[in-house]
Amino acid sequence: MPRSLENFNLGKVLGEGTFGKVFLAEYKDTKQLCAIKTLKKERIIAKNDIKSVFKEKRILQKVTSAEHPFLVSLYATFQSENHLFFVMEYLPGGDLCHLLEHQGAFEESKAMFYTACIVLGLEELHRNNIVHRDLKLENLMVDVHGYLKIVDFGLSKDGNVCYNCKAYKGIVGVDLDDIYIYIYLCMCSMYASS
């Protein structure tokens, strides 16, 4: 992937966050669709969050090198005078929150499938000493083949992770607790539709 915004056609805004926006984009040479996360340098500096952005990049690179089917891939990073850019895999199926709002409760087989995707993705993260720390419906997205992928590693922690230690913004090892909540939610959705 190229290292300049000029090599892409930017499309609609897919999402917005504290530091910037995520755009649908097309790589001009191959017509491949991707998602470009734009981060405003000014906001990152103002919030003294430079280390966090570099940590997110490092974690995304580590996740991508694992080539795991349930974790989003990072294709490239580059910068302009005012922005940082993360070029990532485009996940056209949307997030799990959106799916639940529009489709209603999942059938048992779909709930079990999505739960398995989450568990396998978390296992890979934990095997690589990464804790996500922001697992929520909006950070679980569906790819073109219908598989669920874990995204947004902005609050993640890597390295020598202790699952019982207190850390910045709460408990480091919340992923294990969160998965039980999502299994419960999926099961509730399943039984509500019965």
- Tell whether 100 and 182 lie within a shared domain: yes
pTM given for the model: 0.84
Domain endpoint, select from 19, 54, 89? 89
Binding residue per annotation — 47? yes
Q: Are residues 39 and 73 located together in one domain of the fold? A: yes
Same domain, 181 and 103: yes
Give the total residue count for the chain. 194
Residue 41: both structure tokens together: 């340098």
**Same structural domain for residues 83 and 126?**
no
95, 134, 143, 175: which is the annotated catalytic residue?
134
Residue 179: predicted pLDDT: 61
- Determine the Cα–Cα distance for residues 143 and 141; give it in Å rounded to an integer: 7
Q: Residue 23: what pLDDT?
A: 98
Residues 19 and 80 in one domain: yes
pLDDT in tens, 120-149: 999 999 899 999 988 888 999 999 999 999
3-state secondary structure of 95: strand
Q: Are residues 23 and 44 in the same domain?
A: yes
Tens place of pLDDT for every residue, the chain, 194 residues? 667 999 999 999 999 877 789 999 999 999 999 999 999 999 999 999 999 999 999 999 999 999 999 999 999 999 999 999 999 999 999 999 899 889 888 888 898 899 899 989 999 998 999 999 888 889 999 999 999 999 999 889 888 765 555 444 444 445 555 666 666 565 555 555 55
Distance CA 130, CA 171 (A): 13
List Cβ neighbours of 194 (8 Å cut-off, separation of 6 or more): none
Arithmetic mean of pLDDT over the chain: 86
Strands (E), the chain: 8-16, 20-27, 33-40, 74-79, 83-89, 130-131, 140-142, 148-150, 157-158, 166-167, 170-171
Domain containing residue 69: CATH number:
3.30.200.20
134 is catalytic: yes
CATH code: domain of residue 181 = 1.10.510.10
**Same domain, yes or no: 25 and 112:** no
Name the residue range of residue 48's domain: 5-89
For 131, what's the count of Cα atoms within 13 Å in the CB-facing half-sphere? 22
